[in-house]
Structure 1
Amino acid sequence: MRKHQSAGSAHGLPFSPPRHSQCGCAPARTERCGGLRRSTEPPPSSRARSLRRPQTVDAPSAPGGGRTGGRLKAVAVALAVLASVLAGPVEGADWQAAVKLNAGFTTMSGITHRGTLGTGERIGIDIDGEIERHRTEDVTAGVGASLGRRFGPWLLEAEYVWRYRTDWDATAPTPTIQAITNVFTNVRTSTLMLNAGRTGPFSARWLWEAGLGAGAVWNRMRSDYIERAVSGVRPERRFKRADTKTSLAWNLFAGISRAVGQRWRLGLRYRYIDLGELRAGPFEARPARLFANQGAHELQLALTLK
């Protein structure tokens, strides 16, 4: 290795080795020790560590995931308490079981990709990756069942409902790749709710009811990420993904029912239910992720055995 000498050392001044013009660090030096050349340069790995700032990459986490997990645990505890209440002997408490048909008008609102689709740059009249509609609606149907007990005018029930296929669609112009991008998702939703309500008579045969409840929702999604073909420019590209998202759900309800014979009741219930957050992606070779909040206005037709 070449030995450096500065102008200062030639004039009796303290030696100061020249600095590299790019990084400003002193060059490595060598010394003789027992006829061998010994380098004072640190090992390459340690020098690289000293020059590079350490970086860490954390896996993306869902916002509020810890809070949702805590709420779901609380719901699980509440359902366990409900099971003990339903199973325990209570004087004057009447059992009831119901089968239900469910129809709903579902809304997906606040649709966003949180900066994961496109560049966000304005190109001509379009913004690359901008979602065209931030709210979509669909009509859904499902079936369910409930098991509960009446304590005088009060009702306590555990309810499960399965809903078939909500369509959640999003479209964004992506002029940087000269295409329109679609994200089409089919959502199947299941809920397990703990409901509490109060009932009262209209007449000898008619009852009204009103109440609220909370529980867990499972959204199972199958998504297609599609970059549309442009004739003579690019073919269509399609990527698929399946996701399941568990969230907290809650509902408010009101309804009426009529006695049919001695042990049966036919009821109609309206409710608004919050069905938690939807999340699709990322996709193979595409980092895009899509988010929305799901809620529904539902009508339930129930046949109850008491």
Structure 2
Amino acid sequence: MRAFSFVIVTLTILSWPALTVAEDSAGTAYTSIKLLGAYAQVKGIEAAGSLSGPIFPSNDESDGKDLEDLIGGITAAVGYDFGRYRLELEYGWRYRFDLNGNVGRADPGPGRTATFRSEVESQTLLLSLLWDFETDYSLLGYRLQPWAGIGVGVVKNKTDTNLFNFGISKERDTNTEKSTAWLLTAGSTVKLNERWSADIAYRYIDLGDVHIGPQSGGAEVSTSGMRSHDLTFGLIYRF
């Protein structure tokens, strides 16, 4: 909540000079499409409801008690350039995070009470405020425009799960969680011509809540949420 409050306050402060700049600038609208590769993490995984015992997360990228995974996705955005500031509305889709684990014991044998295998798909809608720095950088004759920004919005995390609750049930279900998302980002655009620019960026994004269940019998798996480190590559078209 502290991080979310910081984003809201900063957006409010920065948007005031952005409106002032807009009065003296003709402005341009633009659209973009980007591919993303991400290193995502889900932390605080716990058994809930009728499930009891320690959780042992597992997948190819896991480390200790938390889960990490490599995922991909795509974003599409529309924005308006006020001169030094830009406001941007972005839709994003990412797939998939493998949320897998065992309950009671990590390896097969007495004491393991359940196993879950879940695929997480995320969709985001984010409003970002971006600041373009005044520089004279160039690369192979093309002008570079570094920038940084913050954003806030909503995320929908969909989990498609197989849960084997030994001796009780074997069930597949889908659960959807909607919550607040926020991001911090920085990158650079390369102006190709008057209309087109290429863009590369890094961002840290909090993707909100992820939850499995409740299934029949009350079996659930809860987490403290998903975070992701993204690299994006894309094109921007100015109208």
TM-score (norm 1): 0.62
Which of 217, 222, 229 is matched with 1:297 structurally? Answer: 229
- Superposition deviation, residue 179 in structure 1: 4.3
Q: Identify if the C-alpha distance between structure 1 residues 171 and 89 changes in structure 2 by more than 3 Å, giving closer, same or farther.
A: same
Which of 46, 56, 60 is matched with 1:132 structurally? Answer: 56
Unpaired stretches in structure 2, ≥5 consecutive residues: 13-18, 58-64
Which of 146, 154, 159 is matched with 1:216 structurally? Answer: 154
Q: 2:228, 2:111 → 1: CA distance?
A: 36
Pairs aligned (count): 207
Is 1:116 the counterpart of 2:50? The answer is yes
Is 1:172 the counterpart of 2:103? The answer is yes
Q: Whose strand proportion is higher, 1 or 2?
A: 2
Which of 241, 255, 262 is matched with 2:187 structurally? Answer: 255
Deviations for 1:118-159, whole angstroms, at most 9, x for unmatched residues?
A: 3xxxxxxxxxx2112441011111111110011111111000
- Superposition deviation, residue 115 in structure 1: 5.7
Secondary structure in structure 1 of the residue aligned to 2:56: coil
> Rg: which structure is higher?
1
Secondary structure in structure 1 of the residue aligned to 2:214: coil
Contact 2:130 2:150 in 1 (8 A): yes
| Residue pairs, 1:1-306, within 5 angstroms | 91-114=25-48, 116-118=50-52, 129-133=53-57, 134-173=65-104, 179-200=112-133, 201-203=135-137, 205-227=143-165, 238-284=170-216, 286-292=217-223, 293-306=225-238
One-letter amino acid of the counterpart of residue 200, structure 2: L
Q: 2:170, 2:23 → 1: CA distance?
A: 58
Deviations for 1:78-122, whole angstroms, at most 9, x for unmatched residues?
A: 9xxxxxx9xx9984211111011011111000111246313xxxx
Task: Using the aligned pairs only, state the percent identity.
Answer: 28
Q: 2:201, 2:136 → 1: CA distance?
A: 15
Greater CA drift, 146-155 or 219-228:
219-228
Q: Identify if the C-alpha distance between structure 1 residues 92 and 240 changes in structure 2 by more than 3 Å, giving closer, same or farther.
A: same
One-letter amino acid of the counterpart of residue 75, structure 2: G
- Superposition deviation, residue 294 in structure 1: 0.5
One-letter amino acid of the counterpart of residue 99, structure 1: I
